[in-house]
């Protein structure tokens, strides 16, 4: 409580950890795997994030607090600290123009999981015209970072038989299953990289500054709002319903 009351989910997770994943997922291929070449490409991504206006913060960022947080040790009884953040980002470059990025992080979720999901666009011409739209699922590439590290690809296939029906199938790779051992934890990797002088996975100062340029307008808008837009959610759920609207109003759905 002493730490979290001064940080909240936005400072604690979004500005550093989640922006690292955003940059790694959206960056252009570096000219080599040398640390500086990789970090050069990562910082370009954050520089290209569309700045938030106060109106953007209201429409594209959701903050919430789980019920019972104010009863936790060292937490103020009238706290407006967010334990959950969901946001929609836009990256203004040629590759990602008009492609939305949705980020979520929260405490007291149903399960502990970190993943990146890439949802592919639906084809403009639907071959299965007699299949209802609700049954046409987009292809999804899922990169699992924690706890079961691996990669999965989900896509629709025709169900065997005379009728035009589709079913979602999944190709799933797990590091533990394939290589017979659990991968090292993130902290083990970082400690080893620090000892050998590999700075690839560490923030460079310009990357830190670029990240704060994105979140500072959000923090300022929240400060002016004084907690009036703070939603709530029950412990053990996936967050408030307001977070689902970020994707639903664009005809998409968040993966649970």
3-class state of residue 41 by DSSP: helix
**Do residues 166 and 131 touch, judged by C-beta distance below 8 A?**
yes
Q: Which residues contact 27 (CB under 8 A, 6 or more apart)?
A: 38, 41, 42, 44, 45
What sign does the CA torsion over 244, 245, 248, 250 have? Answer: negative
| DSSP tag of 83 | S
Calpha distance 95→128 (Å, rounded)? 29
Among residues 17, 47, 58, 203, the one annotated as catalytic is 17
Asked if residue 79 lies in contact with residue 5, where contact means CB atoms within 8 angstroms, the answer is yes
3-state SS class at 165: coil
Residue 17 bears catalytic tag: yes
Q: Which residues are catalytic?
A: 17
């Amino acid at each position: 409580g002493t730490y979290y009351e001064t940080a909240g989910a936005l400072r604690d997770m979004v500005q550093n950890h989640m922006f690292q994943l955003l940059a790694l997922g959206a960056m252009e291929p570096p000219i080599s795997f040398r640390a500086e070449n990789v970090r050069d490409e990562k910082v370009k991504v954050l520089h290209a994030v569309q700045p938030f206006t106060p109106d953007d913060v209201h429409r594209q960022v959701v903050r919430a607090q789980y019920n019972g947080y104010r009863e936790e040790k060292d937490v103020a009884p009238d706290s407006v600290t967010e334990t959950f953040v969901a946001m929609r980002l836009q990256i203004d470059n040629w590759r990602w123009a008009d492609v939305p990025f949705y980020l979520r992080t929260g405490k007291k979720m149903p399960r502990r999981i970190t993943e990146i999901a890439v949802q592919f666009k639906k084809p403009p011409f639907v071959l299965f015209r007699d299949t209802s739209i609700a049954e046409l699922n987009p292809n999804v590439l899922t990169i699992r970072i924690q706890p079961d590290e691996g990669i999965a690809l989900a896509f629709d296939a025709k169900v065997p038989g005379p009728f035009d029906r589709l079913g979602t199938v999944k190709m799933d790779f797990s590091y533990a299953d394939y290589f017979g051992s659990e991968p090292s934890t993130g902290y083990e990797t970082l400690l080893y990289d620090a000892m050998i002088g590999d700075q690839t996975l560490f923030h460079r100062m310009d990357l830190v500054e670029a990240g704060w340029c994105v979140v500072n307008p959000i923090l300022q808008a929240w400060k002016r709002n004084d907690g009036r837009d703070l939603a709530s959610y029950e412990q053990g759920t996936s967050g408030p319903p307001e977070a689902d609207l970020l994707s639903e109003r664009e005809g998409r759905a968040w993966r649970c």
